[in-house]
Amino acid sequence: PKEIFLKDYRPLDFEIESVDLTFELDPSETLVTNRMKFVRKTDQSQLKLDGEHLVLVSIEKDGKILDQEDFYLTETDLTLNCPEQQFELVVKTRINPEANTRLEGLYRSSGNYCTQCEAEGFRTITYYLDRPDCLSYFTTKIIGDECENKVLLSNGNLIEFGELEGGKHFAVWEDPHKKPCYLFALVAGNLEVVEGHFETKDSRRVDLRLYVQENNLDKCDHAMASLKKSMKWDEERFGLIYDLDVYMVVAVDDFNMGAMENKGLNVFNSKFVLAKPETATDVDFEGIESVIAHEYFHNWTGNRVTCRDWFQLTLKEGLTIFRDQEFTSDMLSPAVKRIEDVKRLRSFQFPEDAGPMSHPIQPQSYIEMNNFYTMTVYEKGAEVVRLYQTLLGRDGFRKGMDLYFDRFDGQAVTVEDFRNAMADANQRDLSQMHHWYIQPGTPKVTVTKQYDAGNKTLSLSFKQTLNGKQEHLPLLIPVVFDVLSPSNEAALSFSLSEVDQSRCSRADNGWLFELTKHDESLVLQGVEEEGYLSLFRGFSAPILLDYACTQDELVALASYDSDSFVRWESIQTLALMNLIENVQAVEDNREMVLSEYYAKALESNLADTSLDLALKSLAITLPDESYLQEALSDKGMLINTDSILAVYGYMKQTIAEKFESSLLAIYQQMQSSEAYRYDKDAIAHRMLKNRCLNYLSKLPAQQDWMQTQFDQQSNMTDVFAALEAMKPYDSVWKKANLADFYHKWNHDDLVLDKWFALQASDQSDSALDLVKSLVEHADFHYTNPNRARSVLGVFGRMNMKGFHHASGEGYAFLASEVLKLDKINPQVAARIVSPFTQWKRYDVARQEKMKSQLTKLIESGSLSKDVYEIVSKSLK
């Protein structure tokens, strides 16, 4: 397969002024007529249109049907000579939506037609210049059977509709905004609508419509409320107002991604629309709120200002993730949201960036673009956007955003354009920020301190490395910090030399030091005592911190740092040190211990009655297994998953035993007989309660709580938490509960996904056999991405016991499933194969077994380019 490079970008030779599409819908033979008005922009007269999986019916230029010899057709494109300055092409193609299991382009899901064009799906609908810098005005006419397709939707405004002969009807949609074809959408079928409306701050009425299947009409309230909140928030925070009279969201069951921001007509994975307390957990509710917001925010950051090419994906995704993070932070708890985002970044993006698929947030090349919708482009990209806000302050960031829209509205631009807007609006040179965009890997910052009691100076030295070396272009790293007194918990005062004042200034949550060089130091003057360092407050940069903190210092920070992130981070670090010690103990055949420091920090957090409940819950949660793995790899240790399982088993058990009475007291205090509410306080109560339940479930004397909570059936959050707690047990009661759950919910696909996912991440001794049986289950379908991810995705990512089973059977199973799935849906298969990319981290025996599965996959000789790219890069 061919590799595409950023350095090969060339502007368009032709522009498409307008596109007029007509779809004559038919499940297996949809006819697409595409009338395009072209203008030639350079002296290049060869026009090459993208097109794949198409049957070309005819092609006509300026009214004349072209013969075979007038154009050149391959599997991926259509080339013709167009010396005219302006001309019109009419291309007719035939496509088969029903047979489209790749779920890109036009396909059918539960009998309804829908589209997914990002990144390059439009070329499977018709021949086109399928690249984001080709902006055009779209008009779309949809003709379909009236009984089968009550609803006919596309982007923009409905300008015409009516009846036709033979039981058909039609609708014509016109989008007044120029757009790239990846934002095109069409939906048709028998869907019901939930309506709402929003009044913009300039007093226009926008109709809001959620289209769902009839049986889901009772699960739309939360999505509708989330949409209204998002619209209001974007007006208030960024002054951005919606620009059409109607905003439509369609929920479909079969969808490769979370959702898609098509202009005025979002298409969503139903997982991110449908919810009611009995069927969805708090995590699901929060996911819906943030994905609805994300897609809505794309209307400005993505649609009004779009990407010049796909290497700029982070321009819209990093920025829009940042925006949805800020939104959720305002809707719920800023501290909790920040910690959750950092956890996500560390658990998923850091490993990606340390593995064979590591790439900068602006990748320099790709084989299959769909493989670059990654944690790096999205989440690290959002962290880089956050750096601007940290450096410029909220107001400075807002000025930069305003200038960005002033300059680039209606254009397809680059990450440099964004940076220049930030710089110019604040009269700052931000060119060094570019180094974040072009270098892969997670930087490490090493901090050392030296206190001189005689001179009362505290010297801090900072050193940045990337991938273990100092050969990189130095990054601009904002270090937000403070120095705390060990004696009275307050921040210590100090002064700075004049030179240092230009590099270090007051920030809302401490001091902001701008690290710009490989090595730099800062001298704090007039420091009365050797303080404790509170570093990278709010996680002020996406780095690994290397600071030889004493455990006393960590216990102090974990107990009273005013920055919730550092407070949480300090307890995590204590936990991590303890976990690593125990991994070593297991490997050396020594006894494991619960460290007294970690225990002290747990104790003070459990006892702190003033601590936010959600933060308390986060504080008493052990670091994720993948974070521990990351730390072990960073130390150059190979991972033996059996040791990791043993260590987590021991730690949870020991914590439960040691803190049994406080855990039980809190669990009982958190009980509530009120009806489910989705708000910050109620969520925090459930979160802490269920964390306690999880610990208590380790104790024979407390195990009944799981069953009691399950039997109460109060809401899905609590029911699911009870089932989660049962995971390690191989027991009759667990099986009975799972069976009950299945009988109650087998009519609801999203709930059934949970049932599958629970078992795919089973932690009992029969985990592997259980998962194998799931793909044989009558409700398992390879064609449904959510179902495939619930079983195969969850198994690879979250089932250490089964996937990493020493026999290697887990690897063999997943690899053979990837091969099956790849024939059906390459995009999803490429996600499922990704746990194999980490093979070099594991012990030698596992490495060999994982590698041999990767080799088998390559040798199958039949991989899609999606899976091929990941597997071949992993073997390099």
Contact indicator for 308, 132 with CB cutoff of 8 Å: yes
Q: Name residues contacting ligand DPP, limited to 325-364 (CB under 6 A).
A: none
Nearer to ligand DPP, 119 or 172 (CB): 119
Could you tell me which residues are beta bridge partners of residue 205? 199
20 binds, among ligand DPP, Zn ion, none (CB under 5 to 8 A by kind): none
Rounded distance between C-alpha atoms, residue 350 and residue 480, angstroms: 21
Tell me the backbone φ, ψ of residue 454, rounded to 5 degrees: -65, -50
b (16+ CB within 10 A) / e for 123-136: bbbbbbbbbbbbbb
Could you tell me which residues are beta bridge partners of residue 154? 186
Contact indicator for 13, 44 with CB cutoff of 8 Å: yes
Annotated catalytic, 295? yes
Q: Give the binding-site size for Zn ion (rule: CB under 5 A).
A: 2
- CA 491 to chain CA centroid, nearest Å: 36
135 binds, among ligand DPP, Zn ion, none (CB under 5 to 8 A by kind): none
Question: Which of the stretches 11-19, 225-233, 253-261, 645-653 binds ligand DPP when contact is defined by CB under 6 A?
Answer: 253-261
Nearer to Zn ion, 325 or 717 (CB): 325
Nearer to Zn ion, 269 or 714 (CB): 269
8-state DSSP, 622: P
289 binds, among ligand DPP, Zn ion, none (CB under 5 to 8 A by kind): none
Could you tell me the smallest distance in angstroms from the CB atom of residue 833 to ligand DPP? 20
**Between the CA of residue 284 and those of 288, 331, 524, 683, what are the distances in Å?**
6, 15, 46, 12
863 binds, among Zn ion, ligand DPP, none (CB under 5 to 8 A by kind): none
The three-class DSSP label of residue 162 is strand
Q: Out of 257, 336, 558, 726, name the contact with ligand DPP by CB under 6 A.
A: 257
Question: If residue 618 lies in a helix (H) or strand (E), which one and from where to where?
Answer: helix 613-619
Kindly state whether residue 260 participates in binding ligand DPP, applying the rule CB under 6 A: yes
539 binds, among ligand DPP, Zn ion, none (CB under 5 to 8 A by kind): none
Kindly state whether residue 317 participates in binding ligand DPP, applying the rule CB under 6 A: yes
Closest CA to 360 of 444, 441, 445, 443: 441
Nearer to ligand DPP, 317 or 482 (CB): 317
Q: Which tokens belong to 131?
A: 């690249």
Alpha helices in 357-478 (DSSP H): 375, 381-408, 415-425, 434-438
Nearer to ligand DPP, 261 or 569 (CB): 261
Could you tell me the smallest distance in angstroms from the CB atom of residue 261 to ligand DPP? 5
Q: Out of 284, 295, 341, 866, name the contact with ligand DPP by CB under 6 A.
A: 295
Kindly state whether residue 130 participates in binding ligand DPP, applying the rule CB under 6 A: no
Q: Give the binding-site size for ligand DPP (rule: CB under 6 A).
A: 9
Q: Which residues fall within 8 angstroms of residue 368, CB to CB, at 6 or more apart? A: 1, 830, 864, 865, 866, 869
Could you tell me the smallest distance in angstroms from the CB atom of residue 321 to Zn ion? 7
303 binds, among ligand DPP, Zn ion, none (CB under 5 to 8 A by kind): none
**Maximal C-alpha separation, the chain:** 96
Could you tell me the smallest distance in angstroms from the CB atom of residue 814 to Zn ion? 28
Nearer to Zn ion, 320 or 864 (CB): 320
Q: Name residues contacting ligand DPP, limited to 606-635 (CB under 6 A).
A: none
Could you tell me the smallest distance in angstroms from the CB atom of residue 653 to ligand DPP? 40
Kindly state whether residue 289 participates in binding ligand DPP, applying the rule CB under 6 A: no
**Between the CA of residue 227 and those of 20, 221, 293, 421, what are the distances in Å?**
30, 10, 6, 29
Rounded distance between C-alpha atoms, residue 397 and residue 389, angstroms: 5
Nearer to Zn ion, 317 or 718 (CB): 317
Q: Out of 219, 294, 304, 831, name the contact with ligand DPP by CB under 6 A.
A: 294
Q: How many other C-beta atoms are found inside a 10 Å radius of the C-beta of residue 691? A: 23
Kindly state whether residue 383 participates in binding ligand DPP, applying the rule CB under 6 A: no
Could you tell me the smallest distance in angstroms from the CB atom of residue 373 to Zn ion? 9
Query: For ligand DPP, what does the binding mask look like between residues 816 and 835, x meaning CB under 6 A?
Result: --------------------
Residue 315 amino acid letter = L
Q: Which tokens belong to 601?
A: 């920090």
Question: If residue 142 lies in a helix (H) or strand (E), which one and from where to where?
Answer: strand 137-145
Could you tell me the smallest distance in angstroms from the CB atom of residue 749 to ligand DPP? 21
Angle at 643 between CA 640 and CA 644, to 5 degrees: 90
Q: Which tokens belong to 224?
A: 């509708």
Question: Which of the stretches 83-91, 256-264, 478-486, 689-697 binds ligand DPP when contact is defined by CB under 6 A?
Answer: 256-264
Could you tell me the smallest distance in angstroms from the CB atom of residue 29 to ligand DPP? 28
Closest CA to 523 of 454, 450, 474, 453: 450
Question: Which of the stretches 255-263, 530-538, 678-686, 828-836 binds ligand DPP when contact is defined by CB under 6 A?
Answer: 255-263
> Within the chain, how many helices (H) and strands (E) appear?
30, 32
Closest CA to 297 of 273, 280, 316: 316
Could you tell me the smallest distance in angstroms from the CB atom of residue 692 to ligand DPP? 35
449 binds, among Zn ion, ligand DPP, none (CB under 5 to 8 A by kind): none
Nearer to Zn ion, 144 or 302 (CB): 302
Closest CA to 129 of 210, 44, 214: 44
Q: Name residues contacting Zn ion, limited to 291-350 (CB under 5 A).
A: 317, 320
Tell me the backbone φ, ψ of residue 300, rounded to 5 degrees: -95, -50
Could you tell me the smallest distance in angstroms from the CB atom of residue 337 to ligand DPP? 18
Could you tell me the smallest distance in angstroms from the CB atom of residue 257 to ligand DPP? 5
Rounded distance between C-alpha atoms, residue 705 and residue 711, angstroms: 10
260 binds, among ligand DPP, Zn ion, none (CB under 5 to 8 A by kind): ligand DPP
- 119 preceded by cis ω (within 30°)? yes
Q: For residues 42, 46, 49 and 53, what is the CA-based torsion angle, rounded to 10 degrees?
A: -170
90 binds, among ligand DPP, Zn ion, none (CB under 5 to 8 A by kind): none
Nearer to Zn ion, 303 or 464 (CB): 303
Nearer to ligand DPP, 260 or 492 (CB): 260
Contact indicator for 318, 418 with CB cutoff of 8 Å: no
Nearer to Zn ion, 381 or 802 (CB): 381
Q: In what order do the strands lie in the sheet with 510-515?
A: 504-507, 510-515, 477-484, 532-534
Question: Which of the stretches 254-262, 379-387, 704-712, 719-727 binds ligand DPP when contact is defined by CB under 6 A?
Answer: 254-262
Question: Which of the stretches 252-260, 271-279, 539-547, 840-848 binds ligand DPP when contact is defined by CB under 6 A?
Answer: 252-260
257 binds, among Zn ion, ligand DPP, none (CB under 5 to 8 A by kind): ligand DPP
Nearer to ligand DPP, 250 or 260 (CB): 260
Nearer to ligand DPP, 118 or 326 (CB): 118
Kindly state whether residue 718 participates in binding ligand DPP, applying the rule CB under 6 A: no
Kindly state whether residue 261 participates in binding ligand DPP, applying the rule CB under 6 A: yes
Rounded distance between C-alpha atoms, residue 39 and residue 402, angstroms: 32
Q: In what order do the strands lie in the sheet with 457-466?
A: 519-525, 457-466, 443-452, 544-547
Could you tell me which residues are beta bridge partners of residue 140? 21, 173
Could you tell me the smallest distance in angstroms from the CB atom of residue 835 to ligand DPP? 22
| Annotated catalytic residue, options 286, 295, 340, 379 | 295
Q: Which residue has the tokens 């460290």?
A: 595
8-state DSSP, 469: B
8-state DSSP, 136: B
Rounded distance between C-alpha atoms, residue 628 and residue 3, angstroms: 35
Could you tell me the smallest distance in angstroms from the CB atom of residue 7 to ligand DPP? 25
Q: Name residues contacting ligand DPP, limited to 100-129 (CB under 6 A).
A: 118
Binding site for Zn ion (CB under 5 A): 317, 320
Binding site for ligand DPP (CB under 6 A): 118, 257, 259-261, 294-295, 317, 373
Residues identified as active-site: 295
